[in-house]
């Protein structure tokens, strides 16, 4: 059965190619048209590549601007020493939950226990758990 299907498709392809014959003038017109389209697409590709390169440079500039702005904001918010530590993503015992959130972003999960002797919070970032007591980082451990 597979052999019969292959013969049928071969016959179909031969018939299509025979009926699709064109004159040399038509061939030349189609070729010239395709050459023109290729030239146009090549030029458009060069323009787009140039725009992409320009945007990549602009992204680098904007990323630097964001980092500088964050540094200024955190220094204003937390003071020179702690602001620089938060902006660089450092973690230290004694930092606040706000500092941690500014430094590392939103945690994957937060567990909170309120007891009469304090509020105990665990923040999960991947496989690391950070322990806060009354909003201050006291310790951390890796799972």
Angle among Cα 139, 87, 142 to the nearest 5 degrees reads 30
Shared domain for 33 and 66, answered yes or no, is: yes
pLDDT at 4 over 60: no
Residues 45 and 82 in one domain: yes
pLDDT one-digit tens code per residue, 53-80: 999 999 999 999 999 999 999 999 999 9
Has residue 52 been placed in a domain? Answer: yes
- 105 and 119 housed in the same domain: yes
Tell me, yes or no, whether 81 and 39 share the same domain. yes
Burial class (CB within 10 angstroms; exposed 0-12, middle 13-18, buried 19+) of 43: exposed
Report d(CA 58, CA 115) in Å as an integer: 51
The answer on 79 and 51 residing in a single domain is: yes
Beta bridge partner(s), residue 141: 129
Domain that holds residue 105: 92-142
**pLDDT per position as a tens digit, 86-106:** 999 999 999 999 999 999 999
7 in any annotated domain: no
> Does 81 share its domain with 104?
no
Q: Are residues 75 and 105 in the same domain?
A: no
Query: Could you tell me if residue 6 is inside a domain?
Result: no
Residue 11 lies in a domain: no
Contact 125, 108 (CB under 8 A): yes
Q: Where are the alpha helices (DSSP H) in the chain?
A: 2-19, 24-78, 80-87, 97-104
Q: Are residues 36 and 81 in the same domain?
A: yes
How does pLDDT run across 12-56, given as a tens digit for each residue?
566 555 556 778 887 788 778 778 878 887 888 899 999 999 999
pLDDT above 90 (res 126):
yes
Q: How far, rounded to the nearest angstrom, does the alpha carbon of residue 121 sit from its chain's CA centroid?
A: 31
Pair (84, 119) in one structural domain? no
Instruction: Return the higher-pLDDT residue of 108 and 19.
Output: 108
Residues 81 and 105 in one domain: no
Looking at residue 21, the DSSP 8-state letter turns out to be -
The verdict on 60 and 113 lying in the same domain is no
Structurally, the chain folds into a number of domains equal to 2
- Count of Cβ atoms closer than 10 Å to residue 57 Cβ: 10
């Amino acid at each position: 059965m597979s052999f019969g299907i292959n013969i049928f498709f071969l016959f179909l392809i031969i018939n299509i190619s025979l009926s699709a014959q064109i004159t040399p003038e038509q061939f030349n017109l189609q070729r010239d048209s395709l050459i023109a389209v290729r030239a146009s697409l090549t030029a458009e590709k060069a323009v787009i590549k140039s725009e992409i390169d320009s945007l990549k440079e602009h992204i680098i500039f904007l990323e630097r601007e964001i980092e500088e702005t964050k540094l200024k904001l955190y220094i204003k918010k937390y003071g020179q020493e702690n602001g620089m530590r938060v902006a660089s993503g450092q973690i230290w015992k004694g930092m606040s939950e706000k500092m941690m959130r500014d430094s590392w972003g939103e945690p994957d999960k937060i567990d909170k226990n309120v007891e009469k002797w304090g509020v105990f919070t665990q923040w999960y970032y991947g496989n690391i758990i950070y322990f806060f007591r009354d909003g201050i980082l006291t310790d951390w451990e890796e799972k």
